[in-house]
Structure 1
Amino acid sequence: MTLDTPLKDSHLTDRLRHIRLLALDVDGVLTDGQLYFQADGIEIKGFNTLDGHGIKLLQRAGFTVALITGRDSPMVSHRATSLGIKHLYQGVERKLPKLRDLCLQLGLSLDQVAYCGDDMPDIGAIRHAGVGITVPGAPDYVCQLADWVTQREGGHGAVREICDTLLKAQGHWDAVLDTYLHGAH
C-alpha cells in the first residue's frame, strides 16, 4: 500500500474532493494511543510534528479542522491552540452527535466531512462521514466500517497522510510544494 492508495480508487477520490472539514479523534489518531502519567498524576501525550504541519497546510488551503475526543486533557488544549484549531471538543463519548452539531454550526453536510477515529466511540462518525478513516491499529470492526485505513499508525504520521492525500485530491499539492521549493508565499 502506498501513500496514494486512496487516490487510486476513483469513487473515494471523488468523495475526497468534496471534503471541507477534517475531524479527528485524538488518542490513537494524533497520538500513539498510549497514556503516560507522571508520579503526580499529570498526563503526558506525544504528538507527531509531521501531523501538526499537515494540519497547518490543510488550514492554509481553506479546510476546517476539528478535534473530538473522549478524554479531557490540558495537553490536547495546548496542542489545539498551537495548531490554531478552533473547534476542540473534549469529554465527548458519542462522536456522531457532536459531529452533526458542528456541521450545522459550519453550514456543512456530513458528506463534506472526513472523520478519523480508532475505536468504538468513533464508529458512528466513521460510518456517516463523507469519508470515514481509521488507522492500522484499530480493532477489525472499526477497519471494516472505514472507507480508508491509513498506511501509517496513529501518532506516527497517519494524520499527515490524510492531510497530504486531501491536498492532492483537491488540487492543492503543487502549490504547497511550490511554496517550499521556491519560497513562494
Structure 2
Amino acid sequence: MTQSHDLTVARQRAARIDLMIFDVDGVFTDGRLLYGPQGEFGKQFSTLDGHGVKLLAASGVEVGIITGRRSETVALRAAELGIAHVHQGASDKRAALDALCAATGIAPASCGYMGDDWPDLPVLTRVGFAAAPANAHPEVRQRCHWIAEQSGGAGAVRALCDFVLRARGSYDDLLNQVLA
C-alpha cells in the first residue's frame, strides 16, 4: 500500500483533511485518451471510484477536481458524483489549488490531493496529504504520503477514499448504515 512510506503518518495526515482533490487522467482514468474524428469522445471511469467519492462527501469531506485538460466527459462525471469544485484546463495547478482554497476557506494543509505525474507536483507538495496511484511517475510516488496498490482507473481512487474514511473514523459508520 505504501512502499517505504510511513503508514501511521499517512493516516494522521488523512484524518485531518477537509477537502480531497483529484487529478483526472491517470487517477480517475487509466490515462489513455480516446479520440475520434471529432476529438475526444470518451473516458472510462470506475463505478467503485465514484461510490468512494460519494462516501467521502457523505462523511463531510468536500471533494474537488483539478485537471489540466478540458473535457465535457469530466464535467458530466463530476456533476453525476456531486463534485461542485471542478477546475478544468488548469495549466497552473498551484494557482487552481489557491483558488479552490480561497473559494472553500480551507487551507492547503487541510487538503488532500491524488495525482500521477509531474504537473501534479506543485499541488502534491503543498497539501497536507499527498497520494498517488500505483502506476504514478516515480518522482510523484517519492513525494507522496500514501500510494495505492491499484493503478489509476482501476480502483486507486476507491482505495484512497476507503483509507481516508478509515483514518477519519467514518468507514464503519457508513458501512453499518448500509447493513442496517
- TM-score bracket relative to the smaller structure: over 0.9
Displacement after TM superposition at 1:146 (Å): 1.3
**Unaligned stretches of 5+ residues in structure 1:** none
Contact 2:134 2:156 (8 Å CA) reproduced = no
**What's the TM-score once normalised by structure 2's chain length?**
0.94
Answer yes or no: is 1:107 the counterpart of 2:105: yes
Displacement after TM superposition at 1:106 (Å): 1.1
Displacement after TM superposition at 1:11 (Å): 2.0
Who is 1:11 aligned against? 9
Taking the aligned partners of 2:37 and 2:158, their CA distance within structure 1 comes to: 32
Q: Describe how 1:73-112 pairs up with structure 2 within 5 A.
A: 73-112=71-110
Report Cα offsets for 1:53-97 as digits up to 9, x if no partner.
000011111111001111100000000110111011110022122
Taking the aligned partners of 2:125 and 2:41, their CA distance within structure 1 comes to: 31
Who is 1:171 aligned against? 169
Report SS of the residue matched to 2:142.
Answer: helix
Taking the aligned partners of 1:179 and 1:139, their CA distance within structure 2 comes to: 38
**Unaligned stretches of 5+ residues in structure 2:** none
Who is 2:144 aligned against? 146
Taking the aligned partners of 2:91 and 2:23, their CA distance within structure 1 comes to: 11
Report SS of the residue matched to 1:33.
Answer: coil
Report Cα offsets for 1:8-50 as digits up to 9, x if no partner.
7222221111101000000000000000112433421000000
Taking the aligned partners of 2:113 and 2:137, their CA distance within structure 1 comes to: 16
Instruction: Tell me the number of residue pairs that the alignment of Structure 1 and Structure 2 aligns.
Output: 179
User: Which stretches of structure 1, 4 residues or more, deviate above 4 A after TM superposition?
Assistant: none
Who is 2:160 aligned against? 162
What root-mean-square deviation, in Å, do the aligned CA atoms of Structure 1 and Structure 2 show?
1.7
Taking the aligned partners of 1:9 and 1:45, their CA distance within structure 2 comes to: 32
Taking the aligned partners of 1:33 and 1:120, their CA distance within structure 2 comes to: 14
**What's the TM-score once normalised by structure 1's chain length?**
0.91
Taking the aligned partners of 2:177 and 2:31, their CA distance within structure 1 comes to: 33
Report SS of the residue matched to 2:39.
Answer: coil
Report SS of the residue matched to 1:62.
Answer: coil
Report Cα offsets for 1:97-154 as digits up to 9, x if no partner.
2112211221111111110111111001111110111112122111111111111110
Taking the aligned partners of 1:28 and 1:57, their CA distance within structure 2 comes to: 21
